Structure 1
Amino acid sequence: MVDVAVMERNLAAMARLAASAGVRLRPHAKTHKTPLVARRQLEHGAAGLTVATLREAEVLAESGIDDLLLAHPPAGRAKLDRLARLGESVRRLAVSLDSLELAGTVPESVEILWEVDTGLRRIGTPPGEATVEAVLRLVEGIGPARFRGLITHAGHAYAAARPEDREAVAAQEAVGLIETGAMLRARGIPVLELSVGSTPTAPYAARFDGITEMRPGTYVFGDANQVTLGSQTLEDCALAVVGSVVSTPARDRAVMDAGSKALSADLRVPGLDSFGIVLGREDLTVDRLHEEHAVIGGAGAGGLRIGDRLVIVPAHACTTVNLHPALLYVTDREATWHPVEARGWR
Structure 2
Amino acid sequence: MDEKKLRYDINYHDNYFTTPSFGDKSQPITTESNRNYSLIDEEIALPAAVIKASLLDNNLQWMQRFANHHNVKLAPHGKTTMTPAFFRQQLENGAWGITIASPAQAQIAVLSGAKNIIMANQLVGRANMMIISQLIKHYDVDFYCCIDSKHNVEALEDFFASHEQKLNILIEMGVEGGRCGCRTEQEIMALAQHIHQSPHLNLKGIEVYEGVIHGDNAEQQVRDFLNRTIAITIQLQQEHLIQGIPLVTGAGSAWYDVVAECFNKHRELEAIIRPGCYAIHDTGIYLDAQNEVMQRAEKNQGIACNLGGDLASALELWAYVVSRPEPNKVIVGFGKRDAAFDAGLPILERAYRNGESVIFDQVKTTDVMDQHAFLSVSSDCDLQVGDVLVFSTSHPCLTFDKWRAVAVSDDNDRVTHWVKTWF
TM-score, structure 2 as length reference:
0.71
Alignment deviations for residues 146-201 of structure 1 (CA, whole Å, 9 cap, x no partner): 111111112236x66x8xx5633541442231122133234332261110111111
Query: What residue identity is the alignment partner of 1:117?
Result: G
Does residue 45 of the first structure (1) align with residue 121 of the second (2)? no
The residue aligned with 1:200 is: 254
Kept in 2: contact 1:277–1:312 (CA 8 A): yes
Give the 5 Å matches for 1:262-273: 262-266=338-342, 268=343
Q: Which has the higher contact order (CA 8 A, sep 6+)?
A: 2
Q: 1:112 to 1:335 in 2, by over 3 A?
A: same
Gaps of 5+ in 2: 1-49, 295-309, 351-359
Query: What residue identity is the alignment partner of 1:93?
Result: F
Alignment deviations for residues 103-135 of structure 1 (CA, whole Å, 9 cap, x no partner): 333333431111111467111112522222222
The residue aligned with 1:271 is: none
Q: What's the Cα RMSD here?
A: 2.7
Give the 5 Å matches for 1:319-330: 319-330=398-409
Query: What displacement does 1:45 show?
Result: 1.3
Q: Bigger CA drift: 119-128 or 331-340?
A: 331-340
Give the 5 Å matches for 1:221-236: 221-223=280-282, 224-229=284-289, 230=291, 236=312
Does residue 141 of the first structure (1) align with residue 195 of the second (2)? no
Equivalent of residue 276 in structure 1, options 331, 341, 346: 346
Query: What displacement does 1:250 show?
Result: 2.7
Q: 1:251 to 1:82 in 2, by over 3 A?
A: same
The residue aligned with 2:51 is: 2
CA distance in 1, matches of 2:119, 2:261: 24
CA distance in 2, matches of 1:169, 1:251: 50
CA distance in 2, matches of 1:111, 1:10: 30
Q: 1:103 to 1:256 in 2, by over 3 A?
A: farther
Q: Percent identity?
A: 21
Q: 1:173 to 1:287 in 2, by over 3 A?
A: farther
The residue aligned with 1:74 is: 123
Kept in 2: contact 1:66–1:92 (CA 8 A): yes
The residue aligned with 2:206 is: 150
Kept in 2: contact 1:127–1:176 (CA 8 A): no
The residue aligned with 1:33 is: 82
Kept in 2: contact 1:118–1:153 (CA 8 A): no
Q: 1:239 to 1:92 in 2, by over 3 A?
A: same
Q: 1:338 to 1:111 in 2, by over 3 A?
A: farther
Kept in 2: contact 1:118–1:176 (CA 8 A): no
CA distance in 2, matches of 1:175, 1:232: 19
The residue aligned with 1:249 is: 325
Equivalent of residue 240 in structure 1, options 311, 316, 319: 316
Kept in 1: contact 2:408–2:419 (CA 8 A): no
Q: What secondary structure does 1:206 align onto? A: helix
TM-score, structure 1 as length reference:
0.86
Q: What secondary structure does 1:150 align onto? A: strand
The residue aligned with 2:110 is: 61
Q: 1:196 to 1:325 in 2, by over 3 A?
A: same
Which protein is bigger by CA-based radius of gyration? Answer: 2
Kept in 1: contact 2:257–2:293 (CA 8 A): no
Aligned pairs, how many? 332
CA distance in 2, matches of 1:232, 1:302: 37
Q: 1:318 to 1:120 in 2, by over 3 A?
A: farther
Q: What secondary structure does 2:240 align onto? A: coil
Q: 1:146 to 1:243 in 2, by over 3 A?
A: same
Query: What displacement does 1:282 show?
Result: 6.9
